[in-house]
Structure formats: structure tokens, C-alpha cells
A and B are shown apart, each in its own frame.
Chain A
Amino acid sequence: MNAAIDAHGLSKRYRAGWALRDCSLRVPSGRISGLVGPNGAGKTTLLRLAVGLLKPTAGEISVFGWSPTDQPNLVLARVGFVPQDRPLYRHFTVDDILQLGRHLNPRWDQALAVARLTRLAIPLNRKLAHLSGGQQAQVSLALALGKRPDLLLLDEPLSNLDPLARREFMSGLVEVVAAEGLTVILSSHVVAELERVCDHLVILNGGRVQVVGDIDELLHLHKLLIAPRVDPKSISGDATVIRATHTDRQSAMLVKVGSEPVRPDWEVHDVSLEDIVLAYLGNPAAATLPAPAVEKAG
């Protein structure tokens, strides 16, 4: 089966500079992938490239095997996109916006959208401007799901939501995934929220892809080593040190383990996904991918 998203050497330059630089990544279908990175890392640019709102400056991106800009008719009907600011026509009622969805989308499922909103007790005759932030987020999600997408892209879906609304949003989302088996990519800079929901992770930093992979595998591959103070360069074997901190007696190193066993006199601890993400973000030179090709333009 084609990957939901496949990008090779994908680059995007705005007037102000490069937003994405030589990014290669693959998100298999059926996954819930978390797209993390600091503000300005290129997350939104990547999502906009995936729906053809932007055209790559160099490289290519395909969605289920098709180019979003060259073959939009094969891509757009299958993709739901909820941008960061959840743009909704504030003076429309919920019912109005569902009507709009029905007229604009060939695969529209009115019953599904209405059932979701009814279950959440969101009144269909209320104006969007009069709904809470959490309810507006749910309307955006229902609108995107009513389209019956095979791929759902959510840009910072949890921003401005209180903890209860976040929980309700996530639980509604995973329930749809369990029932329909669609692929989801959601961006966030709050990693803790992604850990239980996502099974795939992409770390973007400064316009480059640092890590792409299965979360279970990443957790399995990364360990915290505690050792008597050592120079991280002297660490034996083929482990890669992502982050090292030292006191005068001890060194703590978050490493990506290699094929050789760790020295038996060192303590080995499991790490959380958040530990891994923070270690990579703090060390932009580290990547689980082969080093990017030599830069072509600048």
C-alpha cells in the first residue's frame, strides 16, 4: 500500500528564507503520527505542502502516491485538514457550516457529522461565535471527518483548549481512528499529550527532519546511561550520544543504542518520549537519519 505521505528532498523557501530544507520522510497509512518541533520548525509548512496549499521549492511530496499540486483531484477529496486557527465562519450556525461541507465535498457524510455533534450536545442552531473553544474545535473536527478523509491533518489541534476539552477532543479522535482506520498527522509542541495517542513520530527542527519512526521502536532504541564521569566521545561501541550532562562525578547520557552491548558497569534506564524529543531538540546536529545531502542552494 502507498504511504499516506512520502517526501523526498522536500524544501520550501519563503521570501524570508528556508522554512523546510531537504526533508525526506514517510508516514505509513493507518498510523497516528505526531509532528513535533519548536515554533518555526516548519510543521505548518509541511502540512500545507501536503494539501497543496503550497508548492515545493525543491523536492517532492506525495499523498497516497499522488502529488497534491499536480493531481489535486486525486488527493484533496481524501484529505481533511484543520488549520491551526480553526477558521470557521463565526456568523454561521453549526447547521450552516455542515451545509457548506455537504455542498463542497463529494464524499460528505452528514449523518456522521451530525451524530458526533449531537453526542457532544453541541446545538446545531447555535452560531459558531457563541460556542466555547472546545466546542469550536469539535465542530472543526466533525467538519473534517464528515468529508470521510483517508488522511486527517491537524495543525496544533489542542492549542487554546482546556484540559477537559483536550481530553474529549483526543478521545473523539482516536475513537474514529479505531472505527475507520484512517491516518492522522497532528502537530504539537506539547509532547506529553502525544505520547498516549500517537504510534509514530516526526521531529522537525529548524526546517529539517531530525527523527522519523515508530514510537515503540524509538523508545526501545534510546536509553539513559549513568556512568562515572566520562568524555562522551570515549563511549565505547556504536551508540550515539544525543545529550550528555555531567556532574563532577557522574555523566548522564541519553543515547541511541547501537548493536554492541553497553558496558556492564554503567546503569541503563528507559526514557520517556518527552526525554527523547527534548534531547534531540537540544542537539539539532543529531539525527536518526543519515546526514542530509550537501546543500544545493543557500
Chain B
Amino acid sequence: MVNFYLDARSGVPTYMQLVNQVRRAVRNGTVHAGDRLPTAREVVAALAINPNTVLKAYTQLESEGLVISRPGLGTFIAQGIPAPLAPVLQRQLRRGLDSWIRSAATAGLDRDGMLALINLAIDEQGAHVA
């Protein structure tokens, strides 16, 4: 089950925060195909947000093919979602990243500087990164 939370100071629109949390949960393998997402009413009561915000997030996830909604039953993680990264591969990528962060810190970059550089690199890879 996804436990939604909100970061009021992130500046990211609320519905997008919900979308990102489901994407992340799928990617990390914390939810699996067939798992039910909380109902709009449950999310709304837990976070005190507008019901349409939840519907908007779920509609967006559905249009991305990440979830399917079964009227009267709920919203479920779709079959055939990309498999989470194998733990071995994840550890390997993480080690590379850790050593990169250490070099960047030694070179005097702060968090914003590192993120800017990473974003720039991703942007310039363009075609290879979805």
C-alpha cells in the first residue's frame, strides 16, 4: 500500500507529488502489479486535500499506464509495469554515484551544484534518458 505524504514547501503541485510517489513506489518495488491504491476518500481524509487533486493524480497515472481503475472496485497497479531494478544492479549504480558525490564534494560542490550538474548531464543525454 502506498502511504502518501505531502511536502508543503517543495513547490511541486500536490497532484504531482502523489504521482511521483506512486512512480517511485513502483520503481523501488514497494508496490506490485495488482496492488490497490488507497481510495480517493482515504487519501483525502489522511492528507486533508481536495478530492479532485487525488482524482487528477490517479487520472494522470492511468494515462501513463501505471495504474488501471476498476469502477466500483478501486485503482490498481497495472500488470506489465517495468520491473524494479535488480538489487545487485541498484547497489552497483549506487556505488558509482557515491564515489561521484565524494569527488564532487571534494571539488567544493554543494547539493544544489551537484543536482544542477546531474540535471544538465541528463538533459544533454537527451535521447537516452526518458
Contact = CB atoms under 8 A, between A and B. Distances in A.
A295 interface: no
A196 B44 CA distance: 10
Given A175-B41, A178-B41, A197 B52 contact: no
A83 B50 CA distance: 22
B11 A196 contact: no
A196 B6 contact: yes
Contacts of A177: 44, 50-51
A174 B49 contact: yes
Interface in B10-56: 11, 13-14, 40-41, 44-54
Contacts of A174: 44-45, 48-51
A129 to B, nearest CB: 28
Contacts of A175: 41, 44-45
A112 to B, nearest CB: 15
B51 A196 contact: no
Contacts of A197: 48-50
Contacts of B14: 196
Contacts of B50: 32, 174, 177, 196-199
Interface secondary structure of B, over-half rule: helix
Question: At the interface, is chain A mostly helix, strand, loop or mixed?
Answer: helix
Nearest to B54: A178
B41 A167 contact: no
A170 interface: yes
Contacts, number: 48
Interface residues of A, number: 19
Contacts of B48: 167, 170-171, 174, 196-197
A179 interface: yes
B45 A171 contact: yes
Contacts of B41: 175, 178-179
A197 B50 CA distance: 4
B44 A178 contact: yes
Contacts of B46: 171
B43 to A, nearest CB: 8
Interface in A158-198: 167, 170-172, 174-175, 177-179, 196-198
Nearest to A173: B48
B54 to A, nearest CB: 8
A270 B12 CA distance: 10
7 contacts: A171-B44, A178-B40, A178-B44, A178-B45, A178-B54, A196-B47, A196-B49
Closest 7 CB pairs of A and B: A178-B51, A171-B48, A175-B45, A178-B41, A170-B48, A178-B44, A174-B44
